[in-house]
Amino acid sequence: MPGPEAARRAIGSAAERARPRVLNIGQVLADLSAEFPGISASKIRFLEEKGLVSPQRTAAGYRKYSSQDVERLRFVLALQRDQYLPLKVIKDYLDAVDRGERPESLPGGLTLAPRAVSDQLAGELAARSRARLLSFDELVAESGAAAELVRSLISYGLISAEAQQYDEHALKVAKACRQLEAHGIEPRHLRPFRAAADREFGLVERAIAPVASRRDVASQARAAETAREISDLCLSLHSALVHGQIARMES
């Protein structure tokens, strides 16, 4: 018959097994790498920046991933790999689950079962991501910018139009430039941003060229998602460099 010491050891072992598993980012990579060979720490951090996973932090700022976090990452990565779904679509589904809802499918009625991308699926995704187009007057009204300012932004190439229609990106540019104008920064001062954006787009194009050159729907969807990921990383780099310069001003 087991003695008290053996019983204490057994109870301790059971408690250890019941304790929630906490992993660092290296252990998460080890868990996921067999199923997703291309996974990296930067990819996991990118998914965190996009709000798809929210690990806890230690007092020193290190990430702590629970088993639930790892399964959530596995779910996101599988949908990206097998269905080539945009991260926004996946996040919308996960946000609904986090709110306590029980959606039976992804937004738009897409199945959760991994499957290859079809032309119909690509059409559904394109339809969901298609932005509402604005007229010039609507752009002025919704941005709060003066018509003269918007015309200047168009003349300097900061806003582009297709058949006199303006998309959500034009609206964001107009809103930002309206606020910058209050600080004395005019459209003519912002021309370097247009040149920098063009250079960044060229960098993205070169990076995705091997995949983008394939004409099948799946490759095109993967190329678009990779392009967005690279662009977001470039924006993070730009922000870090500028904020670093500002921090040096304060020191």
Q: Does 89 or 127 have the greater pLDDT score?
A: 89
66 and 169 assigned to the same domain: no
Question: At 134, is the secondary structure helix, strand, or coil?
Answer: strand
The structural domain count of the chain equals 3
Task: Report the C-alpha gap between 177 and 190 in whole angstroms.
Answer: 9
Domain span at residue 106? Answer: 4-129
pLDDT of residue 14: 45
Tell me the pLDDT tens digit for each residue of 176-196: 999 999 999 999 999 999 999
pTM tops 0.85, yes or no: no
106 and 77 assigned to the same domain: yes
86: left (phi over 0), alpha (psi -120 to 50) or beta: beta
24 and 109 assigned to the same domain: yes
50 and 111 assigned to the same domain: yes
221 and 121 assigned to the same domain: no
Instruction: pLDDT band for 152, please (50, 70, 90 cuts).
Output: very high
Q: Which residue has the tokens 């945009």?
A: 86
105 and 221 assigned to the same domain: no
Domain CATH number, residue 103: 1.10.1660.10
18 and 35 assigned to the same domain: yes
47 and 102 assigned to the same domain: yes
166 and 118 assigned to the same domain: no
Round the CA-based radius of gyration of the chain to a whole number and report it.
24
Q: Stretch 120-132: mean pLDDT, rounded?
A: 48
Tell me the pLDDT tens digit for each residue of 200-226: 989 999 998 887 887 765 677 677 778
Residue 234 pLDDT > 80, yes or no?
yes
Contact 21/64 with Cβ under 8 angstroms? Answer: no
Q: Stretch 138-151: mean pLDDT, rounded?
A: 95
Q: Stretch 85-90: mean pLDDT, rounded?
A: 80
pLDDT of residue 187: 94
119 and 53 assigned to the same domain: yes
Residue 41 pLDDT > 60, yes or no?
yes
